[in-house]
Structure 1
Amino acid sequence: MAEKILIVDDDVAICKTLQKVLGSYEMDSDTANSGTEALCKLEKHAYDAILMDINMDDMEGFEVIKRLRSQGITTPVMIVSGRSEDFDALYGLSVGADDYITKPFRPVVVGAKVKALVRRSKQTDSGLACGRFRYDATSLRLFKDDMEIPLTGKENGFMMLFMKHPNQVFTKEMLYQHVWGDSIVVDDNTIMVYINHLRNKIEDDSQHPRHILTVRGMGYRFSGV
């Protein structure tokens, strides 16, 4: 069965273009021309992924994503926006988006990204795999080289996020939002304590980490290699 994608954009021409792109990748699509319409369709239908515009008349795409996540809807979202500022991309990821691409876009890039997004979202029953690591999202168990590493509740939150998005840079604010679910100002020391605990558990040498890497001035990224 072909994947079903919801395109959310108030520009009818953009919707038609994206439908052609997805069709060329053997994916079916549905459209919504406002945030309100998108929320209504998502209440009634299940989709494999969502392509979300940011600038719409009734509400921003960011608000639509926040409402989806607050309702427990975990459908992967890729933002397709004409706004190219780094802040928008980081903020979109912090409120629950899974990927970000700017207009004007190359059709081949959009198609490939959506395919990859859907494929990653379906890697739950068999677990998430990245390099030397495997994470069973059903039983919340982490394995390195087939050896289980016991984790606490919050550590599970970090590792699930890292395993779903390898090599993506996460700011401390983004990590706090994802793991604790709060929008209050992040406590840098709290994040650092959990990162150090995880490094002590998963690194061969926690003083010279190869898996949870510090990106100076930004945050952290995870590599399973």
Structure 2
Amino acid sequence: MQKETKIAIVEDDENLRFLVTHRLEKEGYKVLETGNGNDAVDLILTEKPDIVLLDWMLPDKEGSEVCAEVREKGFENVIIMMTAKSQDPDKIDAFNFGVSDYVTKPFNMDVLVAMLESKVKYVVHDKIEIKFGDMEHHPNTHSLIKGNKKIELTILENRILLYFLKNMNKVISRDNLMMEVWGYNSDVNTRTLDMHIVRLRKKIEKNPDRPDFLQTVRGVGYKFNNE
């Protein structure tokens, strides 16, 4: 069944590009593809795909440059960066060049498909821009708007906040949150999660020590309160 969702794959490894294209077409997506950065900019701006899968390392122009250029020219849809396993997602300057999310290579094709389905459901079709308090979250472009001010979110903070906003007023266990944000093969621990929660609270709460929104549920995890 055609999903009416257009995905562009920008990847210079022909074998990987073929495999991803084949799988996504089988899933019912309309797939566009190219192998270099200069062509990618033209393709994205002309075809306006719902989702771009963009390799970090490309001939002619790096993925980060492609991303920054199309954002500057008004492209606001989802851009998922394909990165090396060694790259720390918190060190990717997502806000400045506008990447929405990332997936590490080599990736499991089923995990990639599940990630894309989640993006299609919550971001592409719903065009999520969720308001809470005096803030508005724009997940595609890493924008948290508070008053007239833009607040920078890292990729992981963006993932965490989006998951809470999709599950407002529900108690979320630490295990579920870690699985959702870091994935199956992660060796992340609860201290790392709690550190990210502290950082996120500093950006969204009036008093991070007594949070109105992102509340701790003792012995279980967290709850995003928006009632």
Question: Is TM (by shorter chain) over 0.5?
Answer: yes
Residues 1:153 and 2:159 aligned together: no
Name segments (4+ residues, structure 1) moved above 4 Å.
123-127, 132-137, 155-158, 161-169, 195-198
Compute the displacement of 1:26 (Å).
1.6
**Conservation of the 8 A alpha-carbon contact between 1:135 and 1:163:** no
**Conservation of the 8 A alpha-carbon contact between 1:79 and 1:92:** no
3-state SS of 2:80 partner: strand
Letter in 2 for 1:71: K
Once the two structures are aligned, what percentage of the paired residues are identical? Answer: 18
1:96 to 70, 95, 98: 98
1:199 to 184, 187, 205: 205
- In 2, the alpha carbon distance for the partners of 1:105 and 1:66 equals 24
Compute the displacement of 1:6 (Å).
0.2
What are the superposed Cα offsets for residues 45-99 of structure 1, whole Å, 9 maximum, x if unpaired?
A: 1211000111112111111111111112112111123x12344663152321122
Where does structure 1 lack aligned partners over 5 or more consecutive residues?
A: 138-150, 170-191, 214-221
Where does structure 2 lack aligned partners over 5 or more consecutive residues?
A: 139-145, 165-176, 183-198, 216-221
3-state SS of 2:52 partner: strand
Partner of 1:12: 14
**Conservation of the 8 A alpha-carbon contact between 1:155 and 1:198:** no
- In 2, the alpha carbon distance for the partners of 1:7 and 1:154 equals 33
Letter in 2 for 1:22: L
Partner of 2:118: 116
- In 1, the alpha carbon distance for the partners of 2:162 and 2:24 equals 23
Between the two proteins, the alignment pairs up a number of residues equal to 173
After TM superposition, the structure 1 = structure 2 runs for residues 1-225 of structure 1, keeping only pairs within 5 Å, are 1-81=3-83, 83-87=84-88, 90-91=91-92, 93-94=94-95, 95-122=97-124, 127-128=129-130, 152-154=147-149, 164=162, 166=164, 198-200=204-206, 207-209=209-211, 211=213, 224-225=224-225
**Conservation of the 8 A alpha-carbon contact between 1:76 and 1:118:** no
3-state SS of 2:120 partner: helix
